[in-house]
Chains A and B, each alone.
Chain A
């Protein structure tokens, strides 16, 4: 499946390689732009600045964790709209569990934190499996099925939280979300590990290759002997689990579980996957692209504040970048005659 690039004429091969790096090139263009502006206007460096790098990388972790699972879903020609509130649900459950285990069962803070994180991630099995079941077995379109789960997860999160945010008082848990290891925020290290694992799954395993196959043509994948139903279940479960990780980490970072923690991140996560080169029609995309996509969004939003652009222009700029990125993608696809980048 990953063959087409090597079979075409040489210039197409090069173009495909460039297209693959499109999101990274775009990221570099943005960084150069902000660097120039920051130097001219404020005489400071934008990128050669540990502080900015730390800030931007932490900023990118939350949408990126959601986007990792979403990458699998989008490659399989689906979409998962429930992720934002699945993340919120996980965040609330993690906070409640950590509090309960520490206060009622009297376990030490470190164990309470571990219980909280595991419970937060475990609760996402429910929305993940239900999403997969609806889509694989009951043939509910992903858009509708996960939109329904968006409501269910949202309501459950608010019910568990009683409409409030659930604060935690656990130094270990707070450290996971806020401490640094040799200058690198722990959140960034954990997210990087998640990226490597997801990249491995997508590019090196049968599961990943089947995901591409199913996204390109579900019928063909089924005829080729792939258990499409089982695969769909796994993909939506994986996506929910990643949202669970994002939610559990959110609780540590903001020392509180919030039902609406992931709501504003959902669209950013989809945008990150698309900017990263995945097609909403399925069959293409990769984890490196998604990482670049998340960084693009983080750099724009951080950079515009850094160079002091008026707030309303920030909305326009972010929207414009998403449109430009997709336009570039479309043009490139037409130019390469439907050759897909994997």
Chain B
């Protein structure tokens, strides 16, 4: 949590850098247009990020173009990116769908004088402007640290379980950078709790039906299963249903990831013990501000980390927590 306030300061500084340019820019004949290309369009996380970027655009009087592919897929994202480049925006914010395959397409844009900011996911190793390597050209990487998110989920779940019991991770597909990192963080943190045993991860292909059946099968084999970490929306939702079908609601503690509005009721009725909310609106806002600062000739931090909020039944009514729910409007 304290990390978050630190990030706020960093963010505020970059925002201020952007805002400082406002008077000079407002008189300019041309409005600055910045594009945001999400990993996929049909996802509450990116919808909320879009909203954050829009707020930033409005704050500085710039334009935002939002175009993306409907699926998380390199061969669908690259054509969208190329169409966006063709419109010559002043800068591009992008959540690259692959660490290596997006390097060349983005380099083309960078060579054409369009600065790149990576949001949520990254290219290369995610460390930019170092002067070394093929993929260090983006000016900034704005994201939440998913390993840390996994660690926070582990800590909160371990606390709810009094530090003992069997748990496992319900995950979507192998080799997706963010969900892999959550699992990695979760497992690493759980090593600090000697009473907790982490069982084999189950992959559900983003199918809630399958996630439900998997948790039922695990309960069948391990009747004393104590908790599950659902690494994304469908993993968490499907697992919750499976636990309910097995008649173990409330007995098996669930930690979720991401925070759609439906989570409020599920925290209150005990379906979920907790969920880790990312701050996608913050990513969109500060990503936009970083790009805007660059375009208007101001310094930009090469990395901006946004935080997480642990949501529980006890704190969800607090407006300071509830504002991190993902909303489309």
Q: CA separation between A165 and B327, bound complex, in Å?
A: 10
Q: Is the CB of A301 within 8 A of B210?
A: yes
Q: CA separation between A199 and B233, bound complex, in Å?
A: 36
Q: Is the CB of A305 within 8 A of B214?
A: yes
Q: Is the CB of A55 within 8 A of B70?
A: no
Asked, given contacts A158-B42, A178-B241, A311-B202, whether A302 binds B208 with beta carbons under 8 Å apart, the answer is no
| Residue from the list A62, A155, A254 in contact with B237, Cβ < 8 A | A254
Q: Is the CB of A178 within 8 A of B245?
A: yes
Asked, given contacts A258-B208, A311-B201, whether A302 binds B241 with beta carbons under 8 Å apart, the answer is no
| Residue from the list B200, B220, B234 in contact with A55, Cβ < 8 A | B220
Stretch in contact with the other chain, from B2-10, B257-265, B291-299:
B257-265
Asked, given contacts A49-B220, A56-B213, A265-B209, whether A312 binds B174 with beta carbons under 8 Å apart, the answer is yes
| Residue from the list A253, A302, A310 in contact with B217, Cβ < 8 A | A302
Asked, given contacts A55-B213, A164-B260, A167-B261, whether A305 binds B218 with beta carbons under 8 Å apart, the answer is yes
Majority-rule SS of B interface residues: helix
Query: Which residues of B202-221 are within 8 A (CB) of A?
Result: 202-203, 205-210, 212-214, 216-221
Nearest A residue to B327 via CB reads A164
Q: CA separation between A298 and B207, bound complex, in Å?
A: 13
Q: CA separation between A261 and B42, bound complex, in Å?
A: 13
Q: Is the CB of A55 within 8 A of B246?
A: yes
Shortest distance between the CB of A249 and any CB in chain B (Å): 11
Q: Is the CB of A306 within 8 A of B44?
A: no
Q: CA separation between A185 and B241, bound complex, in Å?
A: 13
Query: Which chain A residues border B214 with CB–CB below 8 Å?
Result: 301-302, 305
Asked, given contacts A162-B47, A264-B210, whether A254 binds B241 with beta carbons under 8 Å apart, the answer is yes
Interface readout for A304-318 with B: 1 if CB under 8 Å, 0 if not? 011110111010000
- Is the CB of B326 closer than 8 A to any CB of chain A? yes
Nearest A residue to B241 via CB reads A254
| Residue from the list B42, B242, B244 in contact with A259, Cβ < 8 A | B42
Query: Which chain B residues border A56 with CB–CB below 8 Å?
Result: 213
Shortest distance between the CB of B139 and any CB in chain A (Å): 28
Shortest distance between the CB of A152 and any CB in chain B (Å): 12
The 3 closest A-B pairs by CB, nearest first: A167-B262, A305-B217, A264-B207
25 A-B contacts, Cβ less than 8 Å apart?
A: A44-B220, A51-B220, A54-B245, A55-B213, A55-B217, A56-B213, A158-B41, A162-B328, A163-B47, A164-B326, A164-B328, A185-B245, A255-B262, A256-B237, A256-B262, A265-B207, A301-B214, A302-B213, A302-B214, A303-B217, A305-B214, A306-B220, A311-B200, A311-B201, A311-B203
Give me the interface of A with B, judged by CB distance under 8 Å: 42, 44, 49, 51-52, 54-56, 58-59, 62-63, 154-155, 158, 162-165, 167, 169, 178, 185, 253-256, 258-261, 263-265, 298, 301-303, 305-308, 310-312, 314
